[in-house]
Structure 1
């Protein structure tokens, strides 16, 4: 039987050891080449876009001849105002993309020898950067739609007579949310977070092109999709697939997200559920690519993403 691509040598085109052996100059040159790849690695002013640049000999910064703005390779990016060496960021991205089921901040902090707070913010900055590519995406062709609920767990009482029916709304915490995924067959994956599945219908109408064939299960929240799309339903109590009608690729996405929750993070706050959902969508869409390619994609996304409005100065605002 043929070997799976991810088990082959072709899937391993980047090693963490090679990054850690880089000198400061080599790591900086790698960042420069990735950030300004469209200009053959030549710096461009992030403020005015001017190509006429002064280079400083004593420090790794540049100055724009047009607007006199001084900038570094991370200025105006999600890594702006960095404290760690550039080599550590390259290593962090390598560790992040090599984790097929996600990476906990605790593990990242141990690998980089930094505080949990530092690793937590860095990982979320990477999630924001790689997830930003989903902002304006629309799907077409054959799209599977499904939802899965996360959070709001109510711990069962010890004694049977004290236990409550956790299915009733009065006995729930109100924190449960549903991740609704729209997944193009052999294409992109778009997740969103809602309070219930039926709330996702307007977003599905907005993100899925008219004329698309939509596949969904028998949940009543998807009944409204028939008015706009050619919708095929599958009753999972009878079969998982019937004459092409299935949501198996959507379920594959939820499998990865569940494994990330159970095996890596153990708990995902509802406040950040969308960020983790978008991360797993990116991982699912790029799962067949070599780790060197993933490292390049994640680094390019981070260096093309502006300063984060959410994570810049996160702990200084005393958020938890």
Structure 2
């Protein structure tokens, strides 16, 4: 029997030991190469695009010879205003991608010896960069669609006679949301968070190529798919796969997301549900990529992202 990829040495190409052994200068050079790949790590002014700059080595900054603008390797990126060293920043990314079911902010804060607030915001910035990779994509080929509900938990009453069936919609807290996923077989996936599976399904269907074959369960709101796609349905009360249709790839995504909720984060509902769903989607899509490759993908996506308007100054706004 062949060894599973995740158990092989090919899945382990980068470690924390390697990161801290390389030192701050090599970590800084790595971020420069990720930011300015087209110039082989040489600085490019983010304001005017000039390639000529003075090197302010004492502060790891540059000054543009054309417009005089001073900038650093993280200026204008999702890491703008960072205080962590480049070694710690790379280590944080390494810790983040190594968690098969995600990494909690509390664990990251202990591993890096930083405040919980720092780890919380940094992790969400990385999730935002992950989500931006899937923006505007179109699904094609064999596509599976499904939805699962998260949040809206109602705590049972203390006395038995006061308890009600919490499965009834009338007993929900009003905070329950559905995560709808569209997943190519052997390809990419995308997620949508909505109040109902039908609404989320409409958004997913709009991002599927019209020549695709779509697999769904027997829920009535998926009936509209027949008018747009070659659609195959599976009745889960009878089987999970009948040789023609199945949504096992979509269920695999929900399995990972549920384990993230139960075993790592304990609560992923609310306004940040999409961030966690996008993270689980990214992890599913890149599960056969080595951890070093994953780290470079996340770091590259973060360096290509704009300043986060949601997370920059998050705790200052809260205060």
Where do residues 166-205 of structure 1 align in structure 2 (5 Å cutoff)? 166-205=166-205
Matching of residue 8 in structure 1 with residue 20 in structure 2 = no
Give the aligned partner of residue 215 of structure 2: 215
Give the aligned partner of residue 65 of structure 2: 65
Matching of residue 90 in structure 1 with residue 90 in structure 2 = yes
Deviations 1:109-161 (A, max 9, x none): 11111111111000000000111011111101110000000001112224332
List gaps (5 residues or longer) in structure 1. Answer: none
| 3-state SS of 1:146 partner | strand
| 3-state SS of 2:143 partner | strand
| 3-state SS of 1:22 partner | helix
Normalised TM-score (structure 1): 0.97
> Hey, what's the Cα distance between the residues in 2 that align with 1:200 and 1:21?
46
List gaps (5 residues or longer) in structure 2. Answer: none
Where do residues 233-248 of structure 1 align in structure 2 (5 Å cutoff)? 233-248=233-248
| 3-state SS of 1:205 partner | helix
> Hey, what's the Cα distance between the residues in 1 that align with 2:205 and 2:217?
17
| 3-state SS of 1:242 partner | coil
Q: Is the 8 A contact 2:180 2:204 kept in 1?
A: no
> Hey, what's the Cα distance between the residues in 1 that align with 2:139 and 2:171?
38
Q: Which runs of 4+ in 1 moved over 4 A?
A: none
Give the aligned partner of residue 276 of structure 1: 276
Q: Is the 8 A contact 1:218 1:235 kept in 2?
A: yes
RMSD (Å) for aligned C-alpha atoms = 1.2
Shift of 1:43: 1.3
Q: Is the 8 A contact 2:216 2:231 kept in 1?
A: yes
Give the aligned partner of residue 116 of structure 1: 116
Give the aligned partner of residue 30 of structure 1: 30
Shift of 1:48: 1.8
Where do residues 281-292 of structure 1 align in structure 2 (5 Å cutoff)? 281-292=281-292
Deviations 1:151-193 (A, max 9, x none): 0111222433211122333211011100000001111010110
Give the aligned partner of residue 257 of structure 2: 257
| 3-state SS of 2:88 partner | helix
Shift of 1:64: 1.3
Q: Is the 8 A contact 2:151 2:270 kept in 1?
A: yes
Matching of residue 147 in structure 1 with residue 147 in structure 2 = yes
Normalised TM-score (structure 2): 0.97
Q: Is the 8 A contact 2:180 2:201 kept in 1?
A: no
Deviations 1:246-277 (A, max 9, x none): 00000000111011000000111311000000
Matched residue pairs, number? 319
Q: Is the 8 A contact 1:201 1:224 kept in 2?
A: no
